Amino acid sequence: MRHFITLDDFSNFEIEQIFRLAAGMQTQLETWAGICRSKLLATLFYEPSTRTRLSFESAMERLNGGTLGFADPNSTSAAKGETLADTARMVTNYADIIVVRHNWAGSARVIAKHANIPVINGGDGSHAHPTQALTDLYTIIRRKSKVNGLTVGICGDLQYGRAAHSFALAVARFGGKLVHIAPKGLQMPTWLLTRLTKYHRHEPLEVENVTDVIENLDVIYVNRLQEERLPPAVDAATVRGSYLLNAEVMKNAKPDAMIMHPLPRVNELAYELDDDPRAAYFEQSANAVPIRMALISSLMGLQQLILTQPPKRNITEASQQCENPNCVTNHETYLLPEQETFNGDTTIQTCAYCGSLIK
Ligand code: NCD
- pLDDT one-digit tens code per residue, 56-77: 999 999 999 999 999 988 888 8
162 CB near ligand 1 (under 6 Å)? yes
Average of per-residue pLDDT across 79-92: 93
With a 6 Å cutoff on the Cβ, whether 355 touches ligand 1 is: no
Residue 4 has pLDDT above 90, yes or no: yes
Verify cis geometry, omega within 30 degrees of 0, for the bond prior to 264: yes
What does the pLDDT read at residue 235? 78
- pLDDT for 359: 79
What CA–CA distance (Å, rounded) separates 135 from 280? 12
Q: Reply yes or no on whether the pLDDT at 232 is more than 90.
A: no
The answer, yes or no, to whether residue 50 has pLDDT greater than 70, is: yes
Q: What is the pLDDT of residue 241?
A: 67
Contacts of 124 (CB under 8 A, 6+ apart): 100, 101, 102, 104, 105, 106, 107, 108, 109, 162, 328, 354
Strand partners, 152: 178, 219
What pLDDT sits at residue 170?
Answer: 98
The class (CATH top level) of 7-129+286-299 is alpha beta
Residue 357 CA to residue 144 CA, distance in Å, equals 35
Helix (H) or strand (E) holding 21: helix 12-27
Cα–Cα nearest to 303, from 39, 99, 8, 5: 39
What separation in Å is there between the alpha carbon of 1 and the centre of ligand 1?
A: 27
Picking from 113, 139, 99, 106, the residue whose alpha carbon sits closest to that of residue 19 is 139
Q: What is the Å distance from ligand 1's center to 343 Cα?
A: 31
Assign domain 132-280 to its CATH architecture: 3-Layer(aba) Sandwich (3.40)
User: In angstroms, what is the span from residue 263 Cα to ligand 1's centroid?
Assistant: 6
- Residue 298 Cβ contacting ligand 1 at under 6 Å: no
pLDDT at position 303 over 80: no
Residue 293: predicted pLDDT = 97
- Of 253-262, 283-292, 309-318, the poorest mean pLDDT is in 309-318
155 CA → ligand 1 middle, Å: 14
**Residue 341 Rama label (left phi>0; alpha psi -120 to 50; beta):** beta
Return the pLDDT at 309: 81
User: Is the distance from CB of 124 to CB of 106 less than 8 angstroms?
Assistant: yes
b/e per residue, 75-114, with b = 16+ CB within 10 A? eeebeeeebbbebbeebbeebbbbbbbbbbbbbbbbbbbb
To the nearest whole number, what is the mean pLDDT of the chain? 94
Which amino acid does the sequence have at 211?
T
Model confidence at 230, pLDDT cuts 50, 70, 90, reads confident
Residue nearest to atom 11 of ligand 1 (CA): 264
Q: What distance separates the 2 farthest-apart alpha carbons in the chain?
A: 55
Q: 265, 225 in Cβ contact below 8 A?
A: no
User: Percent helix, strand, coil in the chain (nearest 5)?
Assistant: 40, 20, 40
Count Cβ neighbours within 10 Å for each residue of 32-60 and write b for 16 or more, e otherwise. Answer: beebbeebbbbbbbbbebebbbebbbbbb
The predicted structure's pLDDT at residue 233: 79
**Intrachain domains 7-129+286-299 and 132-280 with the same fold:** yes
Q: pLDDT tens-digit profile of 118-170?
A: 999 999 999 999 999 999 999 999 999 999 999 999 999 999 999 999 999 99
How distant, in Å, are the alpha carbons of 144, 153, 204, 219, 326 from that of 278? 12, 14, 24, 9, 37
Domain boundaries, the chain: 7-129+286-299, 132-280, 314-351
Backbone angles phi, psi at 175, to 5 degrees: 85, 15
Stretch 353-359: mean pLDDT? 94
* pLDDT for the residue numbered 302: 86
Q: Which atom of ligand 1 is nearest to the CA of 263?
A: 8
- For residue 214, count other CB atoms closer than 10 A to its CB: 21
Q: What is the mean pLDDT of residues 35-41?
A: 96
Residue 305: predicted pLDDT: 65
- Decide if pLDDT at 78 tops 90: no
Mutate to test the pocket of ligand 1, among 53, 56, 107, 129 (most ligand atoms within 8 A of CB): 129
Is pLDDT of 331 > 80?
A: yes
- As a whole number of angstroms, the distance between CA 164 and CA 138 comes to 15
Backbone angles phi, psi at 44, to 5 degrees: -105, 95
Least confident of 215-224, 228-237, 285-294: 228-237
Strands 119-124 and 151-156: unpaired
Q: Which residues contact 180 (CB under 8 A, 6 or more apart)?
A: 153, 154, 158, 168, 187, 188, 204, 205, 206, 207
Q: Is the minimum distance from the CB of 260 to ligand 1 under 6 angstroms?
A: no
Q: Which amino acid is at 63?
A: L
Q: Is 51 in the pocket of ligand 1 (CB under 6 A)?
A: yes
* Residue 123, ligand 1, Cβ within 6 A: yes
Q: Mean pLDDT throughout 332-358?
A: 93
In the chain, at which residue ranges do the beta strands (DSSP E only) sit?
40-45, 66-70, 97-102, 119-124, 151-156, 177-181, 205-207, 219-223, 258-260, 314-317, 338-342, 345-351, 357-358
Binding site membership of 262 for ligand 1 (Cβ less than 6 Å): yes
**pLDDT (average), residues 227-240:** 81
> What is the pLDDT, as a whole number, of residue 36?
96
Å from CA of 223 to ligand 1 middle: 8
pLDDT above 70 covers what percent of the chain?
A: 99
